[in-house]
Chain A
Amino acid sequence: MPEPLIFEKSRPGREGATVPACDVPETAIPPALCRSRLDLPELAEGDIVRHYVRLSHMNYSVDTGLYPLGSCTMKYNPKVNEVAARMAGFSQLHPLQDPATVQGALELLHRLQGMIGEIGGFEAVSLQPSAGAHGELTGILVMRAYHLSRGEPQRTRILVPDSAHGTNPATTSMAGLEVIEIPSDSRGNVDLIELRAHLDDRVAGLMLTNPNTLGLFDEHLLEVTRLVHDAGGLVYGDGANFNALLGVAKPGQMGIDIMHFNLHKTFSTPHGGGGPGSGAVGASAELAEFLPGPVVARVEEAGNARYEWRVPLQSIGRMKSFHGNFGVLVRAYTYIRMLGPEGLRAVAENAVLNANYLQARLKDVYPIPHGDRTCMHEFVAQGSFSAAPGIRALDVSKRLIDLGFHPPTNYFPLIVHEALMIEPTETESIETLDSFVQAMRTIAREAVESPELLRDAPHSSPVKRLDEVKAAKELKVTAGET
């Protein structure tokens, strides 16, 4: 039963909130400045709540069930994080208040900078970027600024493995640099021969996702970073898959010069239906002074500590207004505090264990291009069957919906045909994983026996497959358009 648009439920004269009367003498607003009409919906509070609760029922979420969306790390979001972020002492702070009046907030940010630096092996951290792609842009601009400051403006090339997220090339061109794609070798690693062939004094750096989007840890990581450094380049780490490495390895110690952390993935702040997130960036000592500012500095004075803002000396500038997504940062801090060092390592261990367990139990029914290797936190299977030529990965995904699960990531990475990228995360129990395996096996059987079941799926969802061609051709992006 579809829910009408809020505008369709609107009736003139209804109100969902009461605004207090004016307690000061009024000053007339010049009519020339005033608008004639404003078509916002008019509903009573109860109907508003009902509308949004009904909409919420049409969503699948982590709190609904398994959400094995590859590279998105859809783990359970502890509720304590929400309580912390909503504390008035955090949520009711104005970003421009005098530092003396927000020492608690600054200390939290300073501690978090230190924690993320410690976990990733980086000298300095900027908490400003709002999301992974935002952190990437930060990192690439930092690399660019670094080479310019060393008198090497000719370093304008960024090497990007073909297994990379689409954001990597988009980010690179946004920074005014040139993308060079590097193929993967037969085992899914960066192809060293191709890499060597492209390394010269025009290379600004390499963007590396490790574990990569195939869920594989690059077997030549140290060789790769050494080669790039020997050529005078830098290595950018895409931290999207860092959940596999928490407490397992520190990228900063393996030759990664700068990297973003997706706090909304690895550190379990809720994804919010696509945002907000946080793309905090860690950097080596060499790059620290280029980070976006301000960052928080601790100053010892007469024995007691004070926290203040500091702008890195050759900062690339601001990436956003104010100080990053503070509410998200409080959640991440809370998460790290609750887990501690052992807990963080346990996160990675169980995430990788769960992924390998799924891979082992699906191998025989779904082709897994690199199934011979141990995967990290995720793996890529193929949603195609020789016995069912008409069936594609998308059909498998849609059928999973009927069986009560959120589908994996479809058609990514591009280098795998009919990709189904599966990331269970550490917060799923073996029972949940087993029932997912059951569903996947059922679908594999249905694909052969009754393919139409897949092609017409989903059958149980609020709506059936939607006509994306119509949406794009007859573009209708606001209510009341005709």
Chain B
Amino acid sequence: MSFIPNTPEDRARMLAAIGVPSVADLFTDVPAEHRFPSLDLPAPAAEQDALRELDALAARNTECAHAPCFLGAGAYHHFIPSVVDFVLSRSEFSTAYTPYQPEISQGTLQAIFEYQSMIARLTGMEVSNASHYDGATAAAEAVVMALNVAQRQRRRVVLSAGVHPQYRAVVRTYLQGMGLDLCGDETDRSLEDLGGLCDDSTACVVVQSPDFFGRIVPPDSLARLAQSVHACGALLVVAANPVPLGVLVPPGEAGADVVVGEGQGLGIAPSFGGPYLGYFAFRRENVRKSSGRIAGETVDRAGTRGYVFTLSTREQHIRREKATSNICTNQSLLALGAAVYMTCLGPRGLRRVAELCWHKAHYAAARIASIPGYAVEECEFFHEFAMKCPVPVDVANKRLHERFGIIGGYNLAADYPDRKNTMLVCCTEMNSRAEIDFFTDALKEVGRA
């Protein structure tokens, strides 16, 4: 067994030292009738056979890397510089655990400290934690934080229908035992309406920009919402895709109290939905109500600068049932990846990527608008937009894939029953002009009833 070094001789020596005749004798506490059951699993495979089998499975999937892909809706296809995977492949990072012993974990701790600093700057906030599981769980933790800030005395949570449907679903799953009034997202409301739902029993209002439909919330309207939310003593939580923030005004500047989102766009492969990265940034005044690990700077006994996880009294291993969350870890390796990605691109590179997304999406939208039977929803969008189709989206996508090898956009009717025949189209820097032209031409044919 290549992963287990013990030889029969080793085992014999160890058993002698322990003073039991056989390995089986170490398991006598296990009820005899349940001991050593048979496992109905495939026989062991040699490495080359295992890889051949996995290759065969992988071959039965259509990779968005090798097909024109116009699918976004919360997971995005961006270019990843080679340096990112190189760093993540360093097993000093990948095979370490949560830095319980800071003296021999400075690599991880400093990297997280740097990640926190970058996220704080990107979002315009003061503090970032070490990350959550993904965008959806980060949104749920943000709502829990708002409830904690309100000492659990406020029971209403206002959600915008523009927040990713799966984020809202996870918020509801997390909070189902708390008997809260979760409302606002039954219909597509204006920011004013959402502000109107906010009262003195409201813990927070959650919006997204660019929202699930790709629409940008202008900074001034966001600022107005922030004012009315704060007037009620509630927090404003903003979910944001970090890539557009390379060019857009950060929610922090518009008055958001918590900014969360899916960090996958920052150098993390789509990987069929995970592992991803939930970033979580907020104002310093709420730091003790926040969840998740936080790396902080300090000095060692010799006065040398170093980093530790701090404010651990918020966490489950100390506060137990009074903790701010039950979370134990973060998506450390992916936070590292995001930090490396942001470092590689730098301020100009990230801005350039964001601009490319914008230009290509607007180019695609303009071409689509000229195709009979199709219509692009009028609004200020970033790199995703809602496209009305002459046929059901499932039909369109099937044809796009079978006839043109194109991965089409997201079927909005799946989450918004009233948005029939509407496809959410996404463009990133990965979509060449040729691809976009190919796609828009394909739409003409696909649209025929």
Contacts and interface: CB of A to CB of B under 8 A. Distances in A.
B90 A53 contact: yes
Interface string A321-361: 11111111010011011111111111101101110110111
Contact of A92 (B64, B164, B284, B359): B64
B384 interface: no
Contacts of B220: 32
Contacts of B245: 35
Contacts of A356: 14, 18, 20, 26
A347 B64 CA distance: 37
B187 interface: no
Interface size class of A (residues with CB under 8 A): 35 or more
A479 B114 contact: yes
Nearest to B127: A477
Given A35-B250, A141-B176, A16 B106 contact: no
Contacts of A40: 118, 121-122, 342-343, 345-347, 350
Nearest to B216: A33
A338 B50 contact: yes
Given A323-B273, A430-B14, A6 B247 contact: no
A92 B270 contact: yes
A448 to B, nearest CB: 23
Given A24-B363, A273-B99, A107 B60 contact: yes
Contact of A465 (B103, B172, B316): B103
A321 B319 contact: no
Given A26-B359, A101-B401, A175-B177, A466 B26 contact: no
B44 A274 contact: no
Contacts of B99: 273-274
A467 interface: yes
A130 B133 contact: yes
Contacts of B124: 35
B103 to A, nearest CB: 4
A200 interface: no
B316 A166 contact: yes
Contacts of B111: 52, 55, 273
B296 A102 contact: no
B286 interface: no
Nearest to A268: B3
A451 interface: no
Contacts of B401: 98, 100-101
Given A69-B97, A327-B272, 20 more contacts: A17-B345, A38-B350, A59-B93, A78-B2, A92-B63, A93-B64, A166-B317, A167-B326, A167-B328, A249-B34, A253-B34, A326-B272, A330-B54, A337-B53, A341-B39, A341-B40, A357-B17, A398-B103, A466-B102, A466-B298
B170 interface: yes
Given A132-B328, A271-B98, A336-B41, A170 B60 contact: no
B330 A274 contact: yes
Contact of B41 (A61, A115, A456, A480): A115
B57 A133 contact: no
A10 to B, nearest CB: 8
Contacts of A216: 29
A360 B18 contact: yes
Given A27-B363, A105-B57, A174-B325, A466 B308 contact: yes
B332 A93 contact: no
A320 B170 contact: yes
Contacts of B272: 90, 93-95, 102, 105, 322-323, 326-327
Contact of B105 (A42, A59, A334): A59
A144 B15 CA distance: 45
Interface stretch (A79-87, A190-198, A230-238): A79-87
B178 interface: yes
B403 to A, nearest CB: 14
A479 B114 CA distance: 7
A299 interface: no
Given A254-B34, A466-B299, A468-B308, A177 B71 contact: no
Contacts of A292: 173
B5 A429 contact: yes
A463 interface: yes
B58 interface: yes
A415 interface: no
